[in-house]
Chains A and B, each alone.
Chain A
Amino acid sequence: MPRDVEPSINQRDFIFSAIQQGLRVDGRSPLQARKTTIRFGNSLGWVECSIGETRVVAQISATVTRPYFDRPFEGIIVIHTEFSPMASSAYETGRPSEEEITMARILEKTIRRSEALDREALCILAGQKVSVPHRETNTKIVRGQQVWTLRLTIQFLADEGNLLDCACMAAMAALRHFRKPEVEVVGDEATMFSPEERAPVPLALHHQPLCVSFVSLGPRNTPVMDPSRLEEQLAHGKMTISLNAQKEICVLQKAGGVALPADEVLHAVNVAVSRVRDMSDLLNRSLEEDSRTRVIEVR
């Protein structure tokens, strides 16, 4: 029976009165995040990210396909989010709730719409010629035929609040960790090399956006960063900011909930900047550590 039992009155009253004193049940201050960790798996592009007890796995696979008809020079990235009852009994497979759809959409916006990934670099054969002479210029129409399709699967293992930030972090880590097989193009022919022959190459990323979520809690709508599950359930409103370490805001999502004054939003953005810098540092450090233990080069 999938359901999400409302938190009890006692829990609500306690959390609200605690937040007025600047306290949180897990001992954090309102704008403090939980411990974030990243773990890489055996295969490239398999990443497990955890924020506190929240855990998300992101995995990337690449296949060669035909491009979309209207975008012949661009590779394809498919983001697939899998909510299962494993994360929490509130989730049901196959029937996403509104909250789950919102989360998937923000991820999509953060990763795809912000152009984090260079999709043109995923094109393999742009120059395959189709012999249809153009009416005016008499040059041949060139249409890309083979591109990489990246499939980013995000699986939610445990939901202790703030799944979105964790999922975004895992996804970005996976994109940076993944390597696609080296491809050599000679004329109209592309040769794909196995990892044993030539070292696989990393993906081309433009920047690294990460999500930071805030909720408004209690009678005075105190902004609280990195909410726990209970805090998310009790919140009067939620705001998610996606930005990169260069202070470029990619997405600011505030769907419904209590109204926020402008200065509070600006303050939240400033807090988010420092949080994203911390997360980026952690990501860079973990990737560096991982690359030291991993042998990718063939020679």
Chain B
Amino acid sequence: MLHTPGNPVTAHRPGVLHSKKQQHWVETESRRYIPAPQESVIGVIVHRSAEAYRVDLGSAHLATLDALAFEGATKRNRPALKVGNLVYARVSLANRDMDPELECFDATTRKADGFGELKDGFMVECSLGTCRKLLDSTHFLLPALAQKFPFEVAVGVNGRVWVRAGSTKATIGVSRAIQMLDNRRTSDEEVASYIQQMDV
């Protein structure tokens, strides 16, 4: 949303307007991610060099992930990621004149806190709105799935969700449920009944 002094606030993206006390925001169903500081994202390593990795976030430009931006990483001892690996990271710097930068630790504690390489599992792509829905703790989907079987999930706000469950079938089940939620043609009730009928 754009506010210039003296003028009313105007939205510069189409979407549903949400308000909470003094906060107003527009929720869009966009699939194109625009990096913003402190957001958790899932990236694919597309290039590696001695000091840094180049990571694809699904945004217009590649992001830079410093090779030392991991918990406990030193010049001698640092994680060796390959091209094609997935990382769960936090956007540490994002402005319009520079490529975004990522870090794989918490800004205050410098602990990994879940960030880092995502091993095995499967990555689902969905709209940014669906990702935000999944991050909402009151949303029905993930708790409903957790009733059926245990699984791990990492939600990046860049339209990517990583899933790992005990079996291939269960992982497919979670990813399909997320894709159904993402699909505008399926209602929440249909997703819920799919989860109910899921046989894993």
Contact = CB atoms under 8 A, between A and B. Distances in A.
Given A5-B56, A6-B46, A10-B120, 6 more contacts: A5-B44, A7-B84, A10-B123, A11-B123, A14-B121, A27-B172
Interface residues of B, number: 24
Interface residues on A, range: 20 to 34
A8 B123 contact: yes
B158 interface: no
B168 interface: yes
A7 B83 CA distance: 10
Contacts of A26: 176, 179
B60 interface: yes
A48 to B, nearest CB: 15
A12 B176 contact: no
B44 A14 contact: no
Interface in B84-105: 84-86
A18 interface: yes
Interface of B: 44, 46, 56, 60-61, 82-86, 118-123, 162, 168-169, 171-172, 175-176, 179
Nearest to A6: B84
Contacts of B162: 10
Contacts of A25: 122, 172, 175-176
Nearest to B162: A10
B186 to A, nearest CB: 12
Nearest to A1: B60
A179 B15 CA distance: 41
A1 B60 CA distance: 7
A14 B168 contact: yes
List 8 A-B pairs, minimum CB-CB distance, nearest first. Answer: A9-B84, A14-B122, A8-B44, A5-B56, A18-B168, A8-B86, A10-B86, A8-B84
Contacts of B168: 14, 17-18, 21, 23
Contacts of A6: 44, 46, 83-84
